Structure 1
């Protein structure tokens, strides 16, 4: 009986080719959407885990960012803060230990790029990353990056998101600026950074067209050469805590930041002792990191409902077609 109904359904659908095409397309879209969304969520989660991992292959995403973009701290001030933090930490009851306290310079700037269409001044951001840095390193996954990290004062790594659009190759000389200073650097690598997975300037969530925003990673000596400051001068301090202390998630009603709040209390004490004025942010307060987390969670949440919705539409169409067939045969 079911075989007969199936044959009659097939003939009925064939007579109404548009309905048949709609059913086939909806089934195909449902299956394809499920596979695509599931694969994307799996790959995205794996990429974030690998990139942020504290091992030789990862970039080791920092736990706290302490910054003051309006002033530079001297190397002595950074060392004074880190020493004060270590002292406060050792005399506290905070359970996770401090893995590293590192000074960095992160500055807005420009790239002066020339191609077939003329000369262009491209909005940019430059990171000074010491050789052997522990946190927020350049991520260079095998097969998806080229070259190596910058070590010498005249070397630079350009974020791999933009190298193709700008037609850059290893060994090219790039001219960049920060403030009133400009300098030429040799391109030695193309990699990624955990704070720039989404290539958007600070303050915006919408990435510009490829090649209209550049991020580059210099050595600490290279940053000193670009800015004219001494090696080790910093406007950002990165803290890496053993493990991953819990931090508050902005999109939840519960408060999850008890662990990181204990660390922030020690940071405030050390800042006061070192007489530094700074903004303190954890992972939930750092916009690029939080956008990545919500992107991943949103993808994981919508995979099943979206697939079910498409499959339900296809199922309803098939049921209605069966009902119409049965009614027509009953006549």
Structure 2
């Protein structure tokens, strides 16, 4: 099958990672093209045909739509798979124009990666939700295919950032208010044990979080380390991973946890509400997280055993080949 993915580049975050992993896995047995920014190239398999494309153009510009239609005619894909909202309208209009110019009709699939309501999804022939909550805001022509990620074998490296003699904690997310990094920092300010915490990510709250760490006198214990392409290396060497988000459309870092972390605790958001038992969930407030952290530290092996059952149960669910097979089946329903 010839599959065309489209991705309006913003930064390498959750949506971009899902798209890349799908492209790389699909390219093993299909001819795969990706329209996106060249910045995504380092993450792609050599099997994926990257075509540099700027989705920032005016979606109503006739010349831009004509050029896009001509590109679709040249590629002649069996299916178009959109991963961001603006792409849907561009591909819908260009697809229709290509058909007017003599091309066969090409099915448009759109995956909804966020919980923001957007009207453009009604233009897709098939919508894909990543969880039930997402499906509720999509048109009736929608199905659920849960996200997955490609497994990467962690590397063992030296250095205190990889293996600490203290109880090692990691949290990774965009540094924005809904992700709750401030709650983690405040909760850690008064726990009953010694620890070392690394926060991975970047965003608009970075300076505020650094100020908070300094204000609480935690500079020697909590470090904001920025974005990393090698989160698996750090997670596999830590004692505990924390997710403290207010909401998540899915929550890809939970899959990181299942793959690599010895233990994950989280607020009741996204996929965590489905895979984590109540023992591994906490209320999104400072005191609740602090109590949970103290409890985890005092009964660490018991909590690890609980999470090991989660890891075993979810192993197949988050397998990329399984998710790709679901997408291929969905594509074929439109041919």
Q: Which has the larger radius of gyration?
A: 1
TM-score (norm 1): 0.20
More strand by share: 1
Higher relative contact order (CA 8 A, sep 6+): 1
